[in-house]
Structure 1
């Protein structure tokens, strides 16, 4: 019975990692397109990141 708990935690961990990887891939594919559409916002974001 005590072995069941770690298995559930491992499954949740794998699911969370997979979801984060998918979200990161989507962001990397969509973010540069938005930057090309909105160059002014890109400049503003650079200033915000520097500060």
Structure 2
């Protein structure tokens, strides 16, 4: 019979995967939200270069 890992290793691994997926989802959501909010600013030509 193959040797099995302790239960707390599996729990930590599952917790790590869930935290990693949530972190990626939140970063994607924040970047998407900021991009949609800045569309009006990018459309107007308010770039006044001094050089």
Which structure is richer in relative contact order (CA contacts within 8 A, separation 6 or more)?
A: 1
CA RMSD of aligned residues (A): 1.5
Q: Distance in 2 between matches of 1:37 and 1:6?
A: 48
1:16 aligned residue: 24
Where does the alignment leave 5 or more consecutive residues of structure 1 unmatched? Answer: 39-51
Between structures 1 and 2, the one with greater helix share: 1
Normalized against structure 2, the TM-score is what?
0.63
Structure 1 stretches of 4+ with a deviation exceeding 6 A read: none
Higher mean displacement: 16-25 or 28-37: 28-37
| Structure (1 or 2) with the larger CA radius of gyration | 2
How many residue pairs are counted as aligned between the two chains? Answer: 38
